[in-house]
Each structure stands twice: as C-alpha cells, then as structure tokens.
Chains A and B, each alone.
Chain A
Amino acid sequence: MIGYVCKYTPVEVLRAMGADPVLMEPSVNDFNLADTLLYPNICSYVKSVLEDAAGKDYEGFVLTSCCDSVRRLYDVLRARYPKKFLFMLDLPRFASDAAAGLYAGQIRKMMEAYAAFSGRQFDENVLREIMLCNSQYRHPEYEPNDPNVLRIALVGNRCSNGLRNLMQNCGVKIVADLTCAGAEREFSPPAEGEDLILNYTKQLLKQMPCLRMGDISARQRHIDEVVSQTDGVIYHTVKFCDIYSYEYSTLHRRISVPLLKIETDTTPQCAGQIRTRVEAFLESLAAAKGIKPVDEKQKQRGENSVTVVGIDSGSTSTNAVVMNEKKEILASGSIRTGAKTSVSAEKILNDVLKKAGIARTDVSMIVSTGYGRVSIPFADKSVTEISCHAKGARYFCPHVRTILDIGGQDSKAIRLSETGEVEDFVMNDKCAAGTGRFLEAMARTLELDISELGPVSLKSQETVEISSMCTVFAESEVISLIAQNKEKADIAKGVHRAIAGKACSLLSRVGGEPTYMMTGGVAKNQGVVQAVEEKLGAKLFLCKDPEIVGAVGAALFGLESFEKA
C-alpha cells in the first residue's frame, strides 16, 4: 500500500508496477503528533496525513510538490521514516510539452526508485490497458435532469467521502466534483508512435487544472458551464489551506446560483458541525425547488536575617511564598487573580506576611514572576516564569529534568540540564486548549465542581473520545455526549485524556526525559495526572503545593541576589 495525495500522481504507472496506490483520505481524532512535528497552522489535511502515516502500515508515500504544506510534510516524513519508500514528484505548474518532458523525467526517476526499493518491474501493457479502460468514462453532469432531485456541484480542494456521503444521503446528485482527486481519472488511448510514459504524462497534466496550477482558464470555463446546470454549489476548503479561497472569492461574485462555503479539518467533530450547515443549505434549496425534505427529524525569622517573598502572578491565580535564608518556606498562599494584577499581588503579599508573622518592613526583597510580573509596582526584581519554574522545581525535586506546567491559561514544558539550567522550553498559550481554563469549562458543562472532576474520572469504565481542544467546540461535544447518555465519569476521563494528549505533545516537542515533574494548579487533579502518566509511560513527580513552584523559584532568585552581594 502506497499512500498518495494528489491527482497528478502517476497512479496508473504505480499500478503497472504492481504497487497498490491508495488515496489518503484520513479522518483523525487529534493532531498531537502533527502539532509536534509540523506546526499547528499547517493545512489540516496534511496534518491528518501525518497522523495516518503513523497509524497504518504503508509501504511508502508518493507526494507531489503541491504546496508549502505538502513540501514540509515530505521533509518530516523523510526524517521520520527513512526505511519506507518516499518520493516527491516535482510537479510543474503548466501542461506545456516542455513541462511534460520534465515531469516525465520525474516519473521515470520514481519508477527507477520504486523498482530498486521493491524489486518490481514496470509492465507497459498494464498501463496501456488501464488507459484504454479509463477512456470509456461518462460525465455525470450530462445525465438527464430529474426535477425531484437536487443537482449540486462540489468545488474546492480535497474533501472526505464523509461529505460526499452526507450529500448523497440527503438525496442530492453530485453532478460535478471539482475537488482534488475527486473527479474520475480520464485517459485517451495511448498515442501511437509516442513514448508511452511521455504520452501518459501529457495526459496526466491535462486533467482539469486545480488551483495550484499556473493556467486555470479551462477550469473556470468548466465551472461556469457546469454551475449553470445546478441548483447550488458547495465550496469546500480545508482549514489552513489558503490557495482555494481566491477561487471562492471570485466565484461568489460571478455565479448566480446559491453557494455554500464550508471548511473542514478532517476530524469527526468538525463533520458534526458541517452536517448542520450542509443540511440547512440543502433544505433551503429543496424548498426553493419544491422538493420535500428527505427526513424531517434531522436537527520564619531572627534579627538581621534575610527574608524574601516570591510572587507568581498568573492569569488565573496569584501565588506567593515567604522564604528565609535557609531556604525554608515560612508561609505560602494562593488567591484568584482579580481584574487588577497589582491589587491581587498586594493582597496575597499581606496574607502571607500575616501567616508568617512578619512585618512588611522586615522583608529584604520581593521578586515577581508570571504574566503579571511587570505590573507589580512594589517588586524589587522580576524573572520570567520559565526560569522560576525551573528553579522552583529543582527545589522540590533535585533530579528533575523535564517540567510540565499546566496553569490556568497556558501550559508549558521545560527541559533542564543535569545542573538544572533551562535547556529548552515550549509554551502553548494561544488559546485555552489544554489548560486549567479548559478544564473549568468542561467541569461546568458536566455540572461538576472543578475539584470533583479528577475523583469522578477515576471511576471511568468506558473509553470516550473528546477530539476537539477548542473550548467552544469541546463544550458542544460534551453536551452531545451527555445527550447520548454517556457516564460523567467516562466523559471526564475523556476530557483528561484530551489534555494529556496536548501535554505530551508539548513534552515531546521539548525533547523531555525523566525525571518528570508536573507543576501548576492542574497537577492537583488526579485524573489529569493519571492520564498524562498513562500517555507518557512514565511517573510524574508531584509536590504538595504544585501551584507555588513558580513563586518558590522567584523567592530563590531573591535569595541568590544576596548570596552574590
């Protein structure tokens, strides 16, 4: 089985070599691996291909130099699967004879490489036969018009069969499929007197051009012609693929039939949202055409000793510790960060000093860290939370090499050297994904107190997948799971596994190694800890107060400045 992604792949040549080329149309639950190896903003299709490549036993992959995303996919596959057959054809943007000559050269190289890899040989006759067979194809758009059936053109980039099936289940007829690899492959019988591969290549390049090609006038003419014979157009794009939006933009100005734009990311939950939109679109078209809907239902201290305070001002909570020169923690505390960072910091400072029985005037130094560190006017010094977490973590666990910190609004992974210096770190704070806030939202949806979420999840009996990491989407996913009568315990466990997936992706991006330690408020949640340990296959070191690690680090930085002085 050789995976391919593009309609300009010489599939027929591969068959004629005895290979089994399959179009990769993966549907995946998450992009944990792809987010680690590629980048979150890469085209979702490409990310899903990478996930799929890891999950199935492919003999190899043949790609074309389609776009930046596919080119990077190739680079990653090559680094990851050095033993598999991997070939990238440099696809020209034109169908001229010169371009075909170049591309035929590429195809021959691929043939040589595959022969060397597999020991299989090319059989010319097989290719001729395939070409002959495919020349019999009849276009559906020219089939007679049935007034009781909606005629839809599906245009855009690659889309899954799920979408096609959805449309067909709604009783519509897809009269034209202008998506990547959507159309049937057509060939004329091979021309006599011309080199077979060259002739095949010319024909391959003369397919209906996709948006990636240099000259797309034939495509435009074709679309205009087909569209006029349809009841509506569904324009499909893949999340983070931009090259098709240009066509959509010009098309929606140009055509008069109704047009629905949908964007999918190859995950099932996305399919769920799309379903509603597609169905609603089709319903409106059907109503306009007077067709009845198919299915109505669907809807401490001495005199001159040194005392320091470390304050970690995070986005959700503000934590503080009072520490003496023997590095003993005299008091610690935590409050929710209010609207004003400085006010919360002032309050927690007073709280911990009171607990420790120390007057403000006896404090030698205050060090701030966290997002709000620069907004605390009384702090003598500020250090980033990365450095503070590293220092704090070593205080509790001298052997720690990798720290996973999941806070209220961000999560991070930090790798330390043997001597405890920060070697690398990665953060995820673009959105709530994989953070405490995400958990809070999920707990709310499950009508549980945040402190109950962990214990409840430990009772889980059945595996439930939460695939979306976007709070908004995940919320609706949880709601639909509740509607399906799933147990709270199982859903909670699913939520924790989703968080663990993100966390492990961060850990592997930073190149983590044991001993692992988890810090931050979320480390108090036994459910998350367990899920991360399972996924990671390693134990996490935990301290009694995981939220104060950053503040401890800050206090230690404070003490250090006295040692130096």
Chain B
Amino acid sequence: MNVARTYGNVVRRQIADKPKTASAMIRTGLYLESFRCAHFAEKKMPKAYRFLNSKAVGVVADALSHPETYAWTNIFAPTELLQTFGLSCVSVECLASYLSGFWLEDYFIDRAEDVGISSTLCSYHKNFIGAVESGVLPLPRLGVTTSVTCDGNIGTFRYMEQRFGVKNFILDIPQNWSPEAERYVVEQLRSLIQVLENATGRKYSEDALRETIHRENESKAHFSSALKKRISHSYPNTMTLVLFLLLATHLNIGSQWVLDFFRMLDEEIGTYPPDTGKRLFWVHTTPYSQPTLQSYLNYNDKCSIVCDDFNLDYMEEMDETHPLEALARKMICNIYNGSFERKAQACVKYAKEYQCDAAVEFCHWGCKQSAGGAILLKEEMRKAGIPMLILHGDSVDRRNNHDGQIRTRFEAFLEMLNRGQEATE
C-alpha cells in the first residue's frame, strides 16, 4: 500500500471542514518525508541526492510553517535577491508537485475549475489555486513573478492578490537583451528592493547579494563539472530528483546548502561505473508520478535522464560586481525567454555536449509555451541527428494520463533506438 496515498486520504477528509488541520498535516507529512530521506532513503539513491531530497522537502516544510518568511515566486524570479531579505522562495510548480505527492491534486484541480478557472489552464496552476482556495496553503508575505515564458504566472499571482490580498510584484522582462532592456529591468529590481524593504523591515545589502551571486557562480561551475563527468559515468536518479534539482538550480540558488550539494554531486559522480544505457535529454517537466515512465526511468541503468532544459536554462557566469545588472541579464537571456529558437539551440547544444542518445519532450497539459514549440524542437533535433519523442500527458493530474498510450510510445521509441544501435553495430 502506498503510504503517501493513505496519508493523503486522511488529509483529504479534513480539507472541507478543517483546512487548518489539513494544512498542519501536510507540513507534518513533509517533515516526516524530509527525515525519512535523510535517514532511510532508498539504497540506490546517491549520497548527494539524499542530501538534496531531504533539503528540498525540508525547506518547503519550513516555509509553510513560517509564512512570514516565505514568498511565492515563479521559477525565473530573482530568488537571489529575496534570499538576502531572509525570504525563502517557493514556486507554484513546486507547491503543486508536492501536493500531488499526497495524491490530492484531483481535489484541488476540481476546486479551481469550480471557481471558474479555465480547465485548459496548466494543472500546476490549477492545483495551486485550488489549494489556496481551500485554505490549505498558508498565505505568504508576498508574491514575486516575472513575465518570462509562462502565461499562467501573471494571471495566477494577480488572482491571489485580488482574492486573498497577497501583495504581488510583477517583473516585466523584455524578450531580447539590449542596454535599454537591461536598464528597464534594473529599474524594476530597484522598485522591488523598496517593496522588499517595506515588507520585511530589513535594509538591502549589496554585499549580501554579491556573496549570494558568488556562491551561485561556484555552484553552477560544480554543476557543469558534474555534468561533464556524467558523460562517462552513470549516476542513478529518478524523475522526482530531476524536479527537486530545480530547488537547487533555481529557488535556492546562491544559498550555502545548494553550494554544498553541488560540491557533493561533483565529487560523487566520478565514483560511479560507466554509463552503458541510453542517455536521454529531457525537455520540460517530468511526470514523476507516471507509472510507465517511472518503471523505465527511475534507477534504471538501461536508460536514464542525463539532463534537462529546465535545470540548464541559464548557465552563464554572473557578474558579481554588478549584481542587479547580472540578475537582469539572467532573466532576459534565459533560454525560456525570447524566441523559441534560443531554447531549441540550447537544447541541441546541451544534448550534444552531454552526449545524449535521444531527447524526450513531455508536453504537459495546458502548457502552451512548451507544447507549441515541440514540433520545431523535434525538427532542430532531427537536423542534429538526435531522435526525439514527444509525449503528451500531465505532470500533475494523474487522471489526465493514459498509461497505455505513454507505454506504447515510449517502448516503441526505445525499440527504435535499440534497433538503430544494432543496425550500426
């Protein structure tokens, strides 16, 4: 019997009448999970990932337990800056995934649709909205979002402001870099600083931001080095870990624990045996609860996710001496911002650089930016000689996945890859 599901069922019974109790149970569940990961994790899980796993769950549990220190952000927000104000950043996608970990997503998604939210909206957003509507998620200090890529963000954050009074700050990010565009964003960051000063009663410290960015640069350097080693070494992971990695590469980047994690990762990968399986480059979100893909991708030495576009969306070194400009540049030049060509080129570059045999894009239900470009990306990959599979499904809502369809496509794709290899041998 699935423990999370059983626990989730108990929580579910509380939601309608005692949302506060349900909320407390979710926090407790997360703390238990964090403890379990630190002490009784699966044997196959590498040490660095154990650390990440435990931290990823722990920081979110802490944030939810101390709402005054937490902020809702999207994945592209300047979380470095928020950290210097003592705020811990949790994204919509992250919260939604955690709730789905408790098998509660159906409840919340239905709830969001009931209040008039479009059923075709991305289910990360619907899950999140439904949880807030149900009173299960505590309200944070403020929300900070950007206009990078996702249509849902601005709408969802503004909705939270209108419905629940959660102050919201929108960063408008131009599509392409130019000196004026950078200035435009820096100006907005300055306004954000004021908002943060008022909200927290703390003073902005440029030194603190420089140190954060310094740790970020070091972390990314370790990450790149680790990925280079990953070319010749296997390193077991799961789809969930690919997701948790986002907490390190985005939401908490620049923090000391993230730097510790990337150091561990960089040291540990070299100790693993060579990778003999099929190496996949993943595009967009991982449907971590999808049974077929779990059976093929989690801890499988025949086939594994080597890296993904989300975690590699901005790998440039940042200029510590001009921290705000560096943050502005990071958001403008992110591969998820601007024309799809930028992202497609980056995906091809990383897939080649890290010697992936094939690419898989999971078109998550409701995500227009990713799905809309899938066919273009496949064409770019084809030109580079990298076969690509496009899967359709839902990373959050279990009801929205057809296991049979996913199985047939994925197995046929593997058969195709394996036969391709036999043919060349």
| Chain A interface (Cβ < 8 Å from any Cβ of B) | 36-39, 41-43, 65, 67-69, 71-76, 79, 88, 90, 92-94, 98-99, 101-102, 105, 211-212, 214, 216, 237, 239-246, 248-250, 252, 261, 371, 374, 383-387, 419, 421-427, 429-430, 509
* A242 CA / B159 CA spacing, docked (Å): 13
B349: interface (CB < 8 Å): no
Enumerate 22 A-B pairs (CB-CB under 8 Å) in ascending A order.
Answer: A38-B375, A39-B368, A39-B375, A43-B368, A68-B367, A68-B368, A71-B339, A75-B340, A76-B376, A88-B175, A92-B184, A93-B170, A99-B172, A99-B184, A102-B174, A243-B152, A384-B411, A386-B409, A421-B416, A421-B423, A423-B416, A425-B409
Residue ID in chain A nearest B173 by CB atoms: A93
Question: Which residue from A69, A374, A386, A425 sits with its C-beta under 8 Å from B368?
Answer: A69
Residue ID in chain B nearest A373 by CB atoms: B408
B256: interface (CB < 8 Å): no
4 shortest A-B CB distances, which residue pairs?
A: A72-B372, A249-B116, A245-B118, A68-B369
User: What residues on A are CB-neighbors of B387 within 8 Å?
Assistant: 424
Residue contact A509 to B375, C-beta cutoff 8 Å: yes
B187: interface (CB < 8 Å): yes
B94: interface (CB < 8 Å): no
Within the complex, the shortest CB–CB distance from B75 to chain A, in Å, comes to 15
B163: interface (CB < 8 Å): yes
User: Binding site of B, secondary structure by majority: helix, strand, loop or mixed?
Assistant: helix
Residue contact A249 to B117, C-beta cutoff 8 Å: yes
Within the complex, the shortest CB–CB distance from B345 to chain A, in Å, comes to 12
* A261 CA / B115 CA spacing, docked (Å): 13
Question: Which residue from B158, B365, B372 sits with its C-beta under 8 Å from A69?
Answer: B372
Interface size counted on chain B using CB atoms at 8 A = 60
Residue ID in chain B nearest A93 by CB atoms: B172
Interface centre among B163, B365, B408 (most CB of A within 10 A): B408
Residue contact A246 to B155, C-beta cutoff 8 Å: yes
* A252 CA / B407 CA spacing, docked (Å): 42
User: What residues on B are CB-neighbors of A101 within 8 Å?
Assistant: 180
Question: Which residue from A43, A69, A75 sits with its C-beta under 8 Å from B376?
Answer: A75
Question: Which residue from B159, B187, B392 sits with its C-beta under 8 Å from A430?
Answer: B392
* A424 CA / B367 CA spacing, docked (Å): 24
User: What residues on B are CB-neighbors of A419 within 8 Å?
Assistant: 423
| Chain B positions 147 through 180: 1 when the CB is less than 8 Å from some CB of chain A, otherwise 0 | 1011110111011001100000010101110001
* A212 CA / B158 CA spacing, docked (Å): 11
Residue contact A243 to B151, C-beta cutoff 8 Å: yes
User: What residues on B are CB-neighbors of A39 within 8 Å?
Assistant: 363, 368, 371-372, 374-375
* A243 CA / B150 CA spacing, docked (Å): 11
User: What residues on A are CB-neighbors of B402 within 8 Å?
Assistant: 429-430
| Chain B positions 87 through 122: 1 when the CB is less than 8 Å from some CB of chain A, otherwise 0 | 000000000000000000000000000011110111
Residue contact B151 to A245, C-beta cutoff 8 Å: no
B419: interface (CB < 8 Å): yes
* A518 CA / B347 CA spacing, docked (Å): 35
For the complex with contacts A72-B373, A242-B152, A246-B159, 12 further pairs of A-B residues with Cβ separation under 8 Å are: A36-B375, A41-B371, A75-B339, A75-B372, A240-B368, A241-B120, A242-B120, A242-B366, A245-B116, A249-B117, A261-B116, A421-B423
Within the complex, the shortest CB–CB distance from A259 to chain B, in Å, comes to 10
Residue contact A42 to B116, C-beta cutoff 8 Å: no
B205: interface (CB < 8 Å): no
* A423 CA / B420 CA spacing, docked (Å): 9
Residue contact A386 to B151, C-beta cutoff 8 Å: no
| Chain B positions 329 through 344: 1 when the CB is less than 8 Å from some CB of chain A, otherwise 0 | 0000000000111000
* A360 CA / B138 CA spacing, docked (Å): 65
Question: Which residue from A243, A422, A429 sits with its C-beta under 8 Å from B405?
Answer: A429
* A383 CA / B416 CA spacing, docked (Å): 12
Question: Which residue from B155, B181, B187 sits with its C-beta under 8 Å from A211?
Answer: B155
Residue contact B120 to A240, C-beta cutoff 8 Å: yes
Residue contact B409 to A427, C-beta cutoff 8 Å: yes
Residue contact A41 to B366, C-beta cutoff 8 Å: yes
User: What residues on B are CB-neighbors of A250 within 8 Å?
Assistant: 159, 162-163
Question: Which residue from B181, B368, B408 sits with its C-beta under 8 Å from A41?
Answer: B368
Residue contact B151 to A67, C-beta cutoff 8 Å: yes
Residue contact B405 to A72, C-beta cutoff 8 Å: no
Within the complex, the shortest CB–CB distance from B162 to chain A, in Å, comes to 5
Residue ID in chain B nearest A250 by CB atoms: B162
Question: Which residue from B154, B371, B392 sits with its C-beta under 8 Å from A214?
Answer: B154
* A397 CA / B392 CA spacing, docked (Å): 31
B415: interface (CB < 8 Å): yes
Question: Which residue from A65, A72, A248, A430 sits with its C-beta under 8 Å from B340?
Answer: A72
User: What residues on B are CB-neighbors of A424 within 8 Å?
Assistant: 387
* A72 CA / B390 CA spacing, docked (Å): 17
User: What residues on A are CB-neighbors of B375 within 8 Å?
Assistant: 36-39, 509
* A99 CA / B120 CA spacing, docked (Å): 31
Within the complex, the shortest CB–CB distance from B414 to chain A, in Å, comes to 9
* A65 CA / B332 CA spacing, docked (Å): 14
User: What residues on B are CB-neighbors of A67 within 8 Å?
Assistant: 151, 368
* A72 CA / B409 CA spacing, docked (Å): 25
Within the complex, the shortest CB–CB distance from B356 to chain A, in Å, comes to 18
B10: interface (CB < 8 Å): no
Residue contact A92 to B151, C-beta cutoff 8 Å: no
Within the complex, the shortest CB–CB distance from A193 to chain B, in Å, comes to 23
User: What residues on A are CB-neighbors of B373 within 8 Å?
Assistant: 72, 75
User: What residues on A are CB-neighbors of B366 within 8 Å?
Assistant: 41, 242
* A212 CA / B150 CA spacing, docked (Å): 12
With A249-B116, A250-B159, A425-B412 as contacts: A42 and B372 at CB distance below 8 Å: yes
Residue contact B408 to A385, C-beta cutoff 8 Å: yes
* A274 CA / B361 CA spacing, docked (Å): 36
User: What residues on A are CB-neighbors of B147 within 8 Å?
Assistant: 93, 214
Residue contact A92 to B172, C-beta cutoff 8 Å: yes
Residue ID in chain B nearest A94 by CB atoms: B172
User: What residues on A are CB-neighbors of B390 within 8 Å?
Assistant: 426
User: What residues on B are CB-neighbors of A239 within 8 Å?
Assistant: 120
Residue contact B412 to A384, C-beta cutoff 8 Å: yes
Name the interface residues of B358-417: CB closer than 8 Å to any CB of A. Answer: 363, 365-369, 371-376, 387, 390, 392, 402, 404-405, 407-409, 411-412, 415-416
Residue contact B181 to A421, C-beta cutoff 8 Å: no
Residue contact A102 to B180, C-beta cutoff 8 Å: yes
Residue contact A98 to B340, C-beta cutoff 8 Å: no
User: What residues on A are CB-neighbors of B162 within 8 Å?
Assistant: 250
Residue contact B369 to A72, C-beta cutoff 8 Å: yes
User: What residues on A are CB-neighbors of B374 within 8 Å?
Assistant: 39
Within the complex, the shortest CB–CB distance from B231 to chain A, in Å, comes to 26
Residue contact A75 to B341, C-beta cutoff 8 Å: yes
* A43 CA / B121 CA spacing, docked (Å): 11
Residue contact B158 to A246, C-beta cutoff 8 Å: yes
Within the complex, the shortest CB–CB distance from B13 to chain A, in Å, comes to 27
Within the complex, the shortest CB–CB distance from A201 to chain B, in Å, comes to 14
User: What residues on A are CB-neighbors of B115 within 8 Å?
Assistant: 249
* A422 CA / B151 CA spacing, docked (Å): 37
User: What residues on B are CB-neighbors of A212 within 8 Å?
Assistant: 154
User: What residues on B are CB-neighbors of A36 within 8 Å?
Assistant: 375
Residue ID in chain B nearest A382 by CB atoms: B411
